Amino acid sequence: MSQQDWLYENFEPTGSSIGFRITRKLDEVQSPFQKVEVYESSDWGNVMLIDGAMMLTSRDNFFYHEMIAHPVLFTHPAPKRVVIIGGGDCGTLREVLKHPGVEKVTQCDIDEQVTRMAEKHFPELCESNDDPRAEILFDDGLAYMKNCPQGSVDIIIVDATDPVGPAEGLFNAAFFADCARALKPGGFLVQQSESPLMLQELINQMRDEMRKSGFRAFQTLPFPQPCYPTGWWSVTMAAKEAEADFAFRKADAIGKDFATLYYSAEIHAGAQHLPPFVATVLR
């Protein structure tokens, strides 16, 4: 294959690159916020990029969507009210709505074009968009959380891109303070937290910002993610209660009545034990 048949993202923070062999470009739109592109690949299905950064592929998105949703939902004793900030591709929304006890999920993403592109090129991710429990908003997630009533939410999922551009404000103490205020007692915040292999200091900086906002306990869960820099990614859960131990409802996870491709009770338990080279660095 010639060079022009490959699509690459060079990721400066990790000094690495990820590439896919492509067969054609399917779509492109420039929204008021960012450029969204979709390509057809030879082996990974469709590939979505936002401002040149790999967001998801048809073949491997389940790792991310399942791990940002199911661990926190099985950690909370009885989640009913969930808010997703970001998540415009709707894959996380689909996973959250697999939990029958959830009564309402609000997804707030600033860019409607991400959802429209997902509906067109990743329809499997949007199959729960018409669920009566789902509320899909296209608005500023920062403003949404600032206006969210105090003590009204069980779980907040921050399904954001890298901390640049429209997502930059989702990684600081002011935003986390709004999240802490909106959470009910015993509630959880979970946010994608980049590569635990190469971006450990970013995870520490995120935890520091969360501490400034009233969060006292943290758990970072790693998982494979081939289309992201280094191929290894993470989510970080946070609780306001210092004594939170992040024990999850193992029996419910084992007995879940829905299918997953990666998440299981065993995977969840294993992810709770960070490799020493990560655990000893995180603070």
Q: Each residue of 52-91: pLDDT tens digit?
A: 999 999 999 999 999 999 999 999 999 999 999 999 999 9
pLDDT of residue 164: 44
Express each pLDDT in 99-121 by its tens digit: 999 999 999 999 999 999 999 99
Per residue in 148-173, is it b (16+ CB within 10 Å) or e — as a string?
beeeebbbbbbbbbbeeebbeebbbe
DSSP-assigned letters across all residues of 164-178: SGGGGGGGSHHHHHH
In the predicted structure, residue 175 carries a pLDDT above the cut 70: yes
Query: Counting beta carbons within 10 angstroms of the beta carbon of residue 184, is it exposed (0 to 12), middle (13 to 18) or buried (19 or more)?
Result: middle
Separation CA 132–CA 113 (nearest Å): 22
109 is catalytic: no
Separation CA 41–CA 49 (nearest Å): 13
In the predicted structure, residue 209 carries a pLDDT above the cut 70: yes
| Percent of the chain at pLDDT exceeding 90 | 93
pLDDT of residue 167: 44
Q: Which of 60, 89, 111, 159 is catalytic?
A: 159
Q: Where are the alpha helices (DSSP H) in the chain?
A: 61-75, 91-96, 112-121, 141-147, 173-182, 200-212, 250-254, 265-271, 276-279
Q: Are 239 and 191 in contact (CB under 8 A)?
A: no
In the predicted structure, residue 222 carries a pLDDT above the cut 80: yes
Phi, psi of 246, rounded to the nearest 5 degrees: 65, 25
Angle between helices 173-182 and 200-212 in degrees, nearest 10 = 60
Q: Are 148 and 83 in contact (CB under 8 A)?
A: yes
pLDDT of residue 169: 55
Express each pLDDT in 235-251 by its tens digit: 999 999 999 999 999 99
Q: Longest Cα pair distance anywhere in the chain, in angstroms?
A: 56
Give me the residue label for tokens 């520091």.
208
Q: Are 74 and 251 in contact (CB under 8 A)?
A: no
Separation CA 110–CA 195 (nearest Å): 24
pLDDT range class, residue 160, cuts 50, 70, 90: confident
Separation CA 283–CA 274 (nearest Å): 13
pLDDT of residue 165: 45
Q: Are 190 and 235 in contact (CB under 8 A)?
A: yes
In the predicted structure, residue 260 carries a pLDDT above the cut 90: yes
- Bridge partners (DSSP) listed for residue 7: 20
- CA 208 vs. chain centroid, Å, equals 19
Separation CA 217–CA 240 (nearest Å): 7
Query: Counting beta carbons within 10 angstroms of the beta carbon of residue 66, is it exposed (0 to 12), middle (13 to 18) or buried (19 or more)?
Result: buried
